[in-house]
Chain A
Amino acid sequence: MPSESHDCACAERESLFVPREAKILHAHAPTSTEKHFTLQFADGSPLIFEPGQILEVGVMGYGEIPIGIASSPTRTHTFEIVVRTVGRVSTAINNKNIGDSLWVRGPLGHGFDVDALRGHDVLVVAGGIGICPTRSLIQYIADQRDDFGRFVLFYGARDPLQLLFPEDRGVWRATHGIEYHETVDRADISWTGNVGVITTLFRNTHLSEDTRVIICGPPVMFEFVIRELDQAGIKRENIYVDLERRMKCGVGKCGHCQINNKYCCIDGPVFTYAEIHELEEAI
């Protein structure tokens, strides 16, 4: 059977699925399950992105997984990710060290609409590893602090050992202009701060109805946080949720991340609550 290869320009077109090599410039493990990487594309080109966008990050031979970008586009030409070891691919990623390569596609999806936040009070509610993609926005706001109103940051984790970014937390705590509150579900002997789920932080914080809110955390957290925001009179269109789904392609084709008629990978992962509150599969 003769088979002529096709000579039209379409043979030269680029695949959506071929990743680019990124070198690990820095890596450390802040907890027993997370690893924090600073990356740079091997060809030296910068990653142009908006806070809240995602990358498909992988190790060839193992596959790739969607990861939120943990650094701000306002800072240098490197980018950071934090990967939690939960499965085969994340284990392969977290076995890599300085000088090794990861294979990256992206940025993908829609991030936080920073223009819509500009000029307004902002509350970030980050639970567990949800601090990682929101750190991108936190740094962005901190770097352009005068463009935003009051800036409140809630961060909660299961226990003190799970709290990430100790240096950042020190800066947030000390920075005039950031109202930083943290909590743990379960304290240890060293802990002197708030104990309880993240919604307990709402007790002592009065929010203006005009506040823009960003929520990122485990699925169970959303419903309870949104209940607090309802009581504070904050409108659905001013609440941004950063959702997590299985994403194999990241470009709106493979179907895995679909939430009703939305694709988490291209319509999100950041949605306004107004967009998704009627989608029964969302949260």
Chain B
Amino acid sequence: MSSFYIEERDFGTFVNTLAQNTRVVGPVAKRQKFVFGEIGSVEELRLDYDITILPPKKVFFPPKQVIARFDADSVEGTIAPVDTVLLGVHPYDVRGIDMTDFLFRERNEDWDYLAQREATTIVASNVQKVAPRAFWASMIDTNEPKGHDAYLTKLDGGYVFETRTPKGEALLARGAFRDATGPEVAAAQSVNADALGQCQEQLPYTSAEIAKTIRESFSNEELWDELSKDCFSCGSCNTVCPTCYCFDMRDVWNLDQKSGTRTRYWDACLTKEFAAISMPGGGHENFREHHQTRFRHRFMRKGAYLNEKLGSPACTGCGRCSMACTVDIADPVRVITTIMEWS
């Protein structure tokens, strides 16, 4: 909507004031890496991060989320959103949030996710340091992120702050912002354009090409065997993915053995039991028994099924899966390129 500017020292005051009144979540250091965590003051905020271990989806879709509490004769839902400012989200992670917003909203609205999502103001920020396996530059042109409320770009001595929604505009009252000058806006555009050129990997195919070719590869067993032969079925690629949203539901008793919680946990389609059902006599029927079929399912989902629904692959190019995969077979650039070039 409009562009504003805030000096570096005023930015510190802005963040501190915000954190004193609202829950603020942003990138913070964790040993040699970064995570999204609650921040109490601007000193903890690390907008110079390259990538966080887990994506910010955990703010709306926590790894472990209590859905209902029960007692002997009663069950109650637990939806209780907390006003939150999510600060410093890189554009590729904003795309991931856009996608999960759509998926949790379509057909059946999942208010256990959406309530916290609507209670959150997202301030995106420019990428100051590009992660080594990132390829978001080649994923971004087809799908500009749109789920954020404001966008922050670091310049020497201050920040350009672009408001995108009324929620973003409301933040202006919390800090010493002034209108940005033309040169400041131009400098911010230049900084963001420069970052696009720094991704080392690229995926040079259109969304439609990817959807078509991946779908056509379904029955190519040799290809999927080759791509997945070292897969441990550990689910790390699922866990770190900004657009993975599969979950399990489990009941847990309290010590009184009468009350407890129904909780959803992140789940991973790569794991062996994911599609298994119990059969009489203690047996199982597993609809995706082999690691090849589970690996294929993940790429079908990302590259074809969700791609057809979202208009782009359910992949943000963040590169987290490439880094998390012990045997380095999850890299979407390598996998999709192999599929596209297989003959």
Which residues of A approach B to under 8 Å, CB–CB? 1-6, 8, 10-11, 13-19, 21, 33, 58, 60-64, 84-87, 90, 101, 103, 219, 244-246, 248-249, 251-261, 266, 280-281
Number of contacting residues on B, CB 8 A?
Answer: 67
**Number of A-B residue pairs at CB separation under 8 A:** 168
Residues 157-208 of B at the A interface (beta carbon under 8 Å): none
Q: Is the CB of B112 within 8 A of A16?
A: yes
Closest 3 pairs (CB-CB, A-B): A255-B246, A6-B119, A87-B278
9 contacts between A and B (CB under 8 A): A5-B80, A6-B119, A10-B114, A15-B77, A15-B78, A16-B112, A86-B280, A254-B267, A256-B274
Q: Could you give, for residues 59-90 of chain B, a 1 whenever the CB lies within 8 Å of some chain A CB and a 0 otherwise?
A: 00000000110100101111111110000000
Q: Most chain-B Cβ atoms within 10 A of its Cβ — which of A17, A64, A87, A260?
A: A17
Q: Most chain-A Cβ atoms within 10 A of its Cβ — which of B70, B245, B293?
A: B70
Residues of B within 8 Å of A2, CB to CB, are 20-23
Also in contact, A17 and B115, with CB within 8 A (given A6-B82, A64-B249, A253-B104): no
Which stretch from B49-57, B130-138, B140-148, B300-308 is at the chain A interface?
B300-308
Residues of B within 8 Å of A103, CB to CB, are 75
Q: Is the CB of A254 within 8 A of B246?
A: yes
Looking across the interface, which residue of chain B has its beta carbon closest to that of A85?
Answer: B280
Q: Is the CB of B308 within 8 A of A261?
A: yes
Q: Is the CB of B262 within 8 A of A10?
A: no
Which residues of B approach A to under 8 Å, CB–CB? 19-23, 38, 40, 67-68, 70, 73, 75-83, 103-104, 106-112, 114-116, 118-119, 218-219, 245-251, 253, 257, 260, 262, 264, 267, 269, 274-280, 285, 287-288, 293, 297, 300-301, 304-305, 308
Looking across the interface, which residue of chain A has its beta carbon closest to that of B68?
Answer: A18
CA of A101 to CA of B71, assembled, Å: 13
Q: Is the CB of B275 within 8 A of A251?
A: no
Also in contact, A253 and B23, with CB within 8 A (given A11-B79, A61-B251): no
Residues of A within 8 Å of B269, CB to CB, are 255
CA of A63 to CA of B263, assembled, Å: 10
CA of A251 to CA of B280, assembled, Å: 26
Q: Is the CB of A17 within 8 A of B247?
A: no
Min CB gap A258→B, angstroms? 8
Q: Is the CB of A252 within 8 A of B107?
A: yes
Other A-B contacts than A5-B82, A15-B79, A266-B108, 15 sampled, CB-CB below 8 A, are: A5-B80, A6-B83, A6-B118, A10-B81, A11-B79, A11-B119, A13-B114, A60-B260, A63-B250, A245-B275, A245-B277, A246-B274, A258-B275, A260-B300, A281-B293
